């Protein structure tokens, strides 16, 4: 399926284009997870194991299976080059915290905080330590740990937002005001500052990647994927039953229904919002990464929605649009394809 799988593209190379196509063509997250778990058996390279475990973890998190997500994030970290895997371990620590395993969360967060790179990840690990202290009722330790976090205008707005929220919880008005002022001065157009302006704390609303899973899963158009490489057949699909084995050579469709090769993309949807300002924030960030994002208003039964779309040139094939989608993923933006 076309979801979060592109970061793990090389993980499937050793297993051939057939299995790679099956995972992308899966009709549900559960099916993708099963295929990826089967694929793990045949992988030997540590880097491939890391990418595959990380992808399974992302899919498990999307489907609400946080215990399995935590397990695979930790397996991904353990699989290869732990010095560069601190973001995976931090994600595992966050999920342990949300699952109530405060001891396990603290152990992993402290380990990430002790790593020297990347600095932003280490800071976020220390902030998770503050949350763990608060959950354990140790306000004094939480305050000491929070005051040890260096904040500056150069830091990401997500860190300043979390420092502001934690400072308010701990009653440190000076630190809350300083972090808010840094956001107002240097990140005035950020979503984080917008949340502060409407007095929305991190404890009330978790900032998540867009689009939301619900919108992704109901909107993804499924169909036969083009060949991954010349001469490699892709799996075929019927309207009711997903294919789990590579198909033979293609034959022309017996009806007027266009084949997958004729399917043309019109854009990549990166987010859907009820608030036009939040949509504008995302479009701005995507444009700053080099993609021509725009905001489109759509009506619905529950009111207007503001959709962030990266248009593609007329006549763009699915395969070409996927390459753009991979580029967006590399820049930190999720999205799904839109078709004619």
What pLDDT, in 10s, does the model give residues 269-299? 988 888 888 888 889 989 988 899 999 988 7
CA distance 248 to 90: 43
**Cα atoms found within 13 Å of the Cα of residue 258, Cβ hemisphere only:** 9
213-339 and 5-152 share a CATH fold: no
Using alpha carbons, list the distances in angstroms from residue 145 to 107, 125, 163, 202, 307: 15, 11, 11, 18, 40
User: Alpha-carbon distance 21 to 23, whole Å?
Assistant: 5
Chain centroid to CA 271 = 12
For the whole model, what pTM was predicted? 0.55
Tokens of 307: 């959709």
What pLDDT score does 20 carry?
55
Q: Angle between the 119-135 and 86-98 helix axes, to the nearest 10 degrees?
A: 20
- The matching CATH number, chosen from 3.30.300.30, 1.10.600.10, 3.40.30.10, 1.25.40.10, for 5-152 is 1.25.40.10
Low-confidence residues in the chain, pLDDT < 70: 1-27, 116-117, 198-262, 300-301
What are the backbone angles phi and psi of residue 259, rounded to the nearest 5°? -75, 170
- C-alpha span between 113 and 116 (Å, rounded): 8
Torsion of CA 151, 154, 155, 157, to 10 degrees: 110
Q: How many residues does the chain have?
A: 340
Is the CB of residue 127 less than 8 Å from the CB of residue 159?
yes
Residues 73, 58 contacting (CB under 8 angstroms): no
- Going by the DSSP 8-state scheme, the letter that residue 317 receives in this structure is B
Return the pLDDT at 219.
38
Burial 200-233 (b: 16+ CB within 10 A, else e): eebeeeeeeebbebebbbeeeeeebbbebeeeeb
142 burial type by CB count under 10 A (0-12 exposed, 13-18 middle, 19+ buried): buried
Domain boundaries, the chain: 5-152, 153-210, 213-339
Residue/partner pairs of 210-217 with CB below 8 Å, 24 or more apart: 210/270, 210/271, 210/272, 210/273, 210/282, 210/308, 210/334, 211/269, 211/270, 211/271, 211/272, 211/334, 211/335, 211/336, 212/272, 213/62, 213/63, 215/272, 216/3, 216/62, 216/334, 216/336, 217/29
Strand arrangement of the beta sheet that strand 336-339 belongs to: 294-298, 305-311, 265-273, 336-339
DSSP 8-state symbol, 221? P
**Residue 194: predicted pLDDT:** 83
pLDDT of residue 132: 95
Helix, strand or coil, per DSSP, at residue 136: coil
- CATH code for 213-339? 3.30.70.1070
Cα–Cα distance measured from residue 226 to residue 255, given in angstroms and rounded to the nearest whole number:
19
Which tens digits make up the pLDDT trace of 194-251? 888 766 544 443 333 344 443 343 334 434 434 433 343 434 444 444 444 444 444 3
Task: Return the pLDDT at 95.
Answer: 93
């Amino acid at each position: 399926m076309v979801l979060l799988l592109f970061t793990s593209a090389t993980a499937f190379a050793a297993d051939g284009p057939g299995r790679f196509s099956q995972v992308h063509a899966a009709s549900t997250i559960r099916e993708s997870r099963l295929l990826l778990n089967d694929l793990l058996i045949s992988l030997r390279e540590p880097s491939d194991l890391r990418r595959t475990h990380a992808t399974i973890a992302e899919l498990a998190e999307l489907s609400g299976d946080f215990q399995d997500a935590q397990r695979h994030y930790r397996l991904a970290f353990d699989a290869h080059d732990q010095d560069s895997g601190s973001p995976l371990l931090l994600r595992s620590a966050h999920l342990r915290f949300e699952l109530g395993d405060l001891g396990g969360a603290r152990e992993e967060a402290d380990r990430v905080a002790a790593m020297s790179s990347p600095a932003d990840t280490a800071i976020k690990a220390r902030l998770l330590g503050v949350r763990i202290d608060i959950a354990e009722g140790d306000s004094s330790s939480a305050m000491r740990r929070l005051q040890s976090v260096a904040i500056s205008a150069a830091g990401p707005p997500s860190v300043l937002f979390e420092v502001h929220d934690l400072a308010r919880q701990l009653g440190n008005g000076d630190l809350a005001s300083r972090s808010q002022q840094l956001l107002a001065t240097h990140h005035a157009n950020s979503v984080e500052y917008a949340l502060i302006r409407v007095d929305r704390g991190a404890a009330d609303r978790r900032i998540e990647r867009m689009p939301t899973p619900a919108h992704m899963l109901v909107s993804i158009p499924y169909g036969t994927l083009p060949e991954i490489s010349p001469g490699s057949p892709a799996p075929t699909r019927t309207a009711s039953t997903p294919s789990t084995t590579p198909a033979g050579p293609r034959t022309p469709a017996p009806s007027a229904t266009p084949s997958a090769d004729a399917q043309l993309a019109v854009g990549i949807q990166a987010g859907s919002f009820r608030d036009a300002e939040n949509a504008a924030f995302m479009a701005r960030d995507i444009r700053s990464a080099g993609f021509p994002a725009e905001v489109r208003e759509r009506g619905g039964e529950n009111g207007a929605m503001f959709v962030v779309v990266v248009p593609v040139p007329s006549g763009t094939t699915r395969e070409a649009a996927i390459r753009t989608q991979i580029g967006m993923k590399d820049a930190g933006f999720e999205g799904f394809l839109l078709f004619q």
